[in-house]
Structure 1
Amino acid sequence: MFRLVSYPTRRVAYGSHANFLRKGLLLGHSFSTDQASTAEDLTDSDPKAAASSKAPVRSKDTALKPNEVVRELDRHIVGQNEAKKAVAIALRNRWRRRKLPEHHRKEITPRNVLMIGPTGCGKTEIARRMANLDDSPFLKVEATKFTEVGYHGRDVDSIIRDLMDISFQLTKKIHMERVRSVAIERTESKILDILAGPSTPAVVTEDEDDDGESASESKNVKSLQDIKSNTRAKFSGLFKSGLLDDQEIVVEVPAEYLDKSGNNPGQVFAMGNLDSSNVSPNMTSAVMNLFSGKGGKENKKRKKMKISDAKVLLEEIETDILLENVDLKAEALQRAEESGIVFLDEIDKICSAKDAYRSGADASAEGVQRDLLPLVEGTVINTKYGNVKTDYILFIGSGAFHQCKPADMLPELQGRLPIRVELSALTEENLYQILTEPEANLVVQQKQLVGTEGVELVVEEDALREIARVAALLNKTVENIGARRLHTVMERIMEEISYDCAEMEEGSQVKVPKEMVEERLKDFIKNPDLSRYIL
């Protein structure tokens, strides 16, 4: 077992390490000649990568063009071109605004969007795919999860706090990618210091009165340096090849890195259901120091672990060290204010028809609309990262509006969602396209699941057409739930196949013809009352 004296590495006296090598112990590890030659080959063929804090990352001054956004959405979503265009233009306008001079930038506010369409037509899917298209903080929330101030539940201000959390994590991730190569290099150096000793030898002081003895000592030191250099190179090759991953070492690191999965002093704010969203990170750090038992001094712990686990832990520590001088909070705050996007789903559920009877729940829902007004118009929200201005955050609302109309929303809120896009209901042809065109369509998913059993699934063209026809028919006769109907229809067809495929021989092929689809679904098509039980 390898042992580390301390982290940061405590320099072992060169003489004692030299004696350790002379005894042939080589830190308790031995490897064959073949492994040694492999290590040397790896060392020669894999030169140390140039570590630079200026490693290329995605620039915030670049953005997808509207047609590129639509093209990306087309890979996963069928139809709804108007909604895709509106979203693409909104994203591009964020980039255009950032390119303007400061005095013009202040005058341009986002054009918030309201998407209107029946359930299952792609509103939520557009939002989900949007989150992967841009390095902007993106938050999707359900409007029904919030209550008016004074009622039990979350208030709408927590939307901005959640957005800031996402912005901070996104900013940290971008910087971590930038310094990752440096952190990996430092981690490797630390572990090699444990395995082969420090790379920097101790300084030898020459005695001017005894030149012969000092020359002899210098020669011995040079010889030991060569031994250490060769040993370190071999260990480096073994380390990079993964042959040492199961070896154990002892590391000594700050206690908070080992306590993350245990009792975290910062969790004191969670006691008694206290809201920690406004607790400053500095205050949390102070409490952690208070609980450390050393009056705020750095508390270290020793931990024996495999090298594979040590690589992950030490890389995290080195990354944090490299980011110490980066003001992540300020950058995350600016990113949220200038590029933040909030998607308010099910916004129709917090409004009711003007002539409808209003219960207590409806009154609270209308209060949520009133609370949303300043948020969408522009206000300042206090968070643990600082005060966040919402003036330039883009809000996208979406709802089916079955029981009410957009005109039933508060007039002030309607005015703050000026761009309206109507999504059309899905036709039989649209349902067929959903089954065949997206990259991860339902048929592909089922083939992959069955394929894990070594069975090939073949769904015939006529069967796909029949599935789309039945789904469209049930949407018309029972309840229109859009593309979600395909999930239930497909699962009913695949039920027996999924049950039996584990017993089939590997390499078997299962075909799904039109007749099988008709047989599995005939009872529900003929009996309208029974079909109501199908979601």
Structure 2
Amino acid sequence: MPDNINNNNNDDEFERYCYMCRRPESETGKLIGMAENLYICPDCLQKAFNSLSNNNFQFMDFSKFPGFDNMNTFMNMNNIPNSQKVKKRKEKDESSEDTDKKDEDDFANLTLDKIPAPHKIKEMLDEYVIGQEYAKKVISVAVYNHYKRVLTNTMDDIEIEKSNMLMIGPTGSGKTYMVKTIAKLLNVPLAITDATSLTEAGYIGDDVESILSKLLAVAGNDVEKAEKGIVFIDEIDKLAKKKETHSRDVSGEAVQQGLLKILEGADVEVPVGSGSKNAMTPTTVMNTRNILFICGGAFPDLEEIITNRLTKMSSIGFGAELRDTYENDPQILSKVTNEDLRAFGMIPEFIGRLPVIYTLQSLDKDMYVKILKEPKNAILKQYKKLLALDEVDLQFDDSAYEAIADLAMERNTGARALRSIIEEFMLDIMYQIPRDDSIGCVVITGDYINKKGSPIIKLRGTDI
């Protein structure tokens, strides 16, 4: 057996596993050492003895079989990669709190006085996310309250329940980007998963516990750290109940039902380093009580459901509101209710576990222009930096911003359209500039974006 297999193993950091049931020692109790690096829990050992006594089996001599001449090598538990091992839980000792704090990372050192207030969180989001003022305010308050609840841990007579969130907004409006940004600002573990791959247990696809497996992996297989993280489930609208179907809905309603206990808070058996449970995958138990779940989705055709509800409620006569009033409302999603989500196909129990529901606005032309100019990591700033490495100054005039925004609105795919548009007109520029050392400045105009002209090229040392 190569020596490098065992180089990354650390018995002081990871727990030992039962060779038979793959459960860690913290769940099985004291493991029994059978051979070098081979451990079996009392339950599995008792089952083995019962099976042998009932069937009159005799112990087999593995040395007579080819390839099994070294029992210790064949059953070497160190062959389990660290990605499938769980770090040991730290014992809480009041006398050694000061020593433990020195060894903890930034997340573990997160205290109540270090959590930014909601207005501070929103100010930080403003530097990266354009618009969506209401959504940023809601997520700032929800995250702040959640970590106050987790860090104070004062659950006496009044128990504070967590506030999972449902984020509704058109594609490209910044749902995923907002969650990524807030997790980065607070330095907390964040797992982003896609609901489209989830299926009911026993069917091809990922089990619902796989979302916790991803969070555990992001936290470095540290269960305590993962139990205070954030999970963002994207494309949650794809789990809507299938209408007019007579087959089992294994990827829709069944997944919603499977997520209920995870969202609410329960002890969940999670496969370590895998998307589904099987006999050869180690598992551990995670408590989801302090994990904040944020679900997001575009919910196509939800606008029509809202419009139908509002028009039914409107009166009939000369003073009645016309259907066109709602159909032309760009912010119709902000009027969503639980009734609309039920009509879309979300079951009531699932909606009830997402008490904070808010919407993101669709982007207009002014917002597109601001997205191009203002964020810290705006895409145009990225290209300016790329050309600056070639000692070339990249500039955009006002007509270029307007032209890019117009094209993005035509494509109707949100902020994602901006990068594809910019990639198209920057291709020739990025290709030609390294060939000519005399170019000192490139000015992008609206005519060039609309394919009616060329960019303005200025040579080094001149204004021409």
The Cα offsets for residues 362-409 of structure 1, whole Å up to 9 and x where unpaired, read as 543221111111111222112457421212321111000004562220
Change (3 A) 1:99 1:132: same
Alignment partner, residue 217 of structure 2: 165
Partners of 2:437 and 2:380 lie apart in 1 by: 22
Query: Could you say which residue in structure 1 is the equivalent of 2:156?
Result: 103
- Equivalent residue runs for 1:367-516 within 5 Å: 367-383=254-270, 386-403=284-301, 406-407=341-342, 408-472=345-409, 474-475=410-411, 480-516=412-448
CA 1:161/1:470 → structure 2, altered by over 3 Å: closer, same or farther? closer
2:451 maps to which of 519, 526, 533: 519
- After superposition, residues 39-54 of structure 1 pair within 5 angstroms as 54=102
Aligned to 1:138: 190
| Residues in 1 aligned to 2:100 and 2:252: alpha-carbon distance in whole angstroms | 53
Q: Distance in 2 between matches of 1:386 and 1:518?
A: 57
How far the C-alpha of 1:426 sits from its partner, in A, is 0.1
Identical-residue share of aligned pairs (%): 33
Give the root-mean-square deviation of aligned CA atoms.
Answer: 2.8
Question: Please, which runs of 5 or more residues in structure 2 have no aligned partner?
Answer: 1-98, 271-281, 303-339, 455-464
Counterpart selection for 1:364 from 247, 251, 257:
251
CA 1:156–1:448 in structure 2 vs 1: closer, same or farther (change >3 Å)? same
Give the corresponding residue for 1:125.
Answer: 177
- In the aligned structure 2, how far is the partner of 1:88 from the partner of 1:521? 45
Partner SS, residue 361 of structure 2: coil
Distance change in 2, residues 1:500/1:357 (3 Å): farther
Contact 1:454-1:508 at 8 Å conserved across structures: yes
CA distance in 1, matches of 2:355, 2:164: 6
CA distance, structure 2, for counterparts of residue 517 and residue 465 of structure 1: 10
Task: Label 1:361 to 1:508 Cα distance change in 2 as closer, same or farther (>3 A).
Answer: farther
Closer, same or farther: CA 156–517 of 1 in aligned 2, 3 Å: same
Match of 2:91 in 1: none
TM-score when normalising by structure 2: 0.60
What SS does the aligned partner of 2:394 have? strand
How far apart are the structure 2 equivalents of 1:66 and 1:130?
11
Tell me what 1:325 maps to: none
Structure 1 pair 148–56 and aligned structure 2 pair: CA distance change class (3 A): closer
- Whether contact under 8 Å (2:165, 2:294) holds in the other structure is yes
Say if 2:236 and 2:296, in contact at 8 Å, map to a contact too: yes
Asked if 1:334 is matched to 2:186, the reply is no
Identify the match of residue 207 of structure 2 among 130, 155, 158.
155
The change in CA–CA distance for 1:142 and 1:67 in structure 2 (over 3 A counts) is: same
Rg (Cα) greater in structure: 1
What displacement does 1:347 show?
0.2
> May I ask how many residue pairs the two structures share in their alignment?
302
1:470 deviation in Å?
2.6
Q: Residue 285 of structure 2 aligns to which amino acid in structure 1? A: N
Q: Could you tell me the TM-score, scaled by structure 1's length?
A: 0.52
Structure 2 CA distance for partners of 1:56 and 1:143, relative to 1, 3 Å = closer
CA distance in 2, matches of 1:152, 1:386: 22
CA distance in 2, matches of 1:114, 1:511: 43
- Contact 1:455/1:504, CA 8 A, preserved across alignment: no
- Give 3-state SS (helix, strand or coil) of 1:406's partner: helix
Query: What residue number does 2:136 align with?
Result: 84
Q: Which amino acid counterpart does residue 341 of structure 2 have in structure 1?
A: P
**1:151 Cα deviation (Å)?**
0.9
Shift in alpha-carbon separation, 1:378–1:100, aligned structure 2, 3 A? closer
Q: Say if 2:231 and 2:294, in contact at 8 Å, map to a contact too.
A: yes
Amino acid in structure 1 at the alignment position of 2:154 = P
Q: Give yes or no for the alignment of 1:345 onto 2:230.
A: no
Superposition deviation, residue 452 in structure 1: 2.9
**Residues 66 and 385 from structure 1, CA distance in 2 versus in 1: closer, same or farther, beyond 3 angstroms?**
farther
The one-character-per-residue Cα deviations of 1:171-224 (angstroms, maximum 9, x if unpaired) are xxxxxxxxxxxxxxxxxxxxxxxxxxxxxxxxxxxxxxxxxxxxxxxxxxxxxx
Unaligned runs of 5+ in 1: 1-50, 170-331, 523-535
- 1:205 is matched with which residue? none
**In structure 1, what is the Cα distance between the partners aligned to 2:220 and 2:153?**
25
* Higher relative contact order, chain-length normalized (CA < 8 Å, sep 6+): 1
- Residue correspondence of structure 1 range 179-328 to structure 2 within 5 A: none
Query: CA-to-partner distance for each residue in 1:137-187, whole Å, 9 max, x for gaps?
Result: 221111112111121111011222322233345xxxxxxxxxxxxxxxxxx
What is the CA–CA distance in structure 2 between the aligned matches of 1:400 and 1:336, rounded to whole Å? Answer: 27
Shift of 1:506: 4.8
- 1:352/1:403 contact within 8 Å kept: no
**2:422 aligns to what SS in structure 1?**
helix
CA distance in 2, matches of 1:464, 1:406: 37
Say if 1:99 and 1:461 are closer, same or farther in 2 by CA, change over 3 A. same
- The 1:484–1:360 alpha-carbon spacing in structure 2 relative to 1, beyond 3 Å, is farther
Tell me what 2:110 maps to. Answer: 60
Per-residue deviation, residues 7-37 of structure 1 (Å, max 9, x unmatched): xxxxxxxxxxxxxxxxxxxxxxxxxxxxxxx
CA contact (8 A) 1:139 1:166 kept: yes
Q: Aligned equivalents of 1:108 and 1:358: distance in 2?
A: 40
Deviation at 1:499, TM superposition (A): 2.0
Q: How far off its partner does 1:96 sit?
A: 2.0
Superposed displacement of residue 87, structure 1? 1.5
SS at match of 1:87: helix
Please state whether the residue corresponding to 2:186 is helix, strand or coil. coil
Q: Sort the Cα spacing of 1:508 and 1:359 in 2 relative to 1 into closer, same or farther, 3 A.
A: farther
Deviations 1:421-451 (A, max 9, x none): 1111000000000000001112111112223
What's the CA shift string for 1:52-103, capped at 9, x where partnerless?
9848964221212111111111111111112112211122112321325242
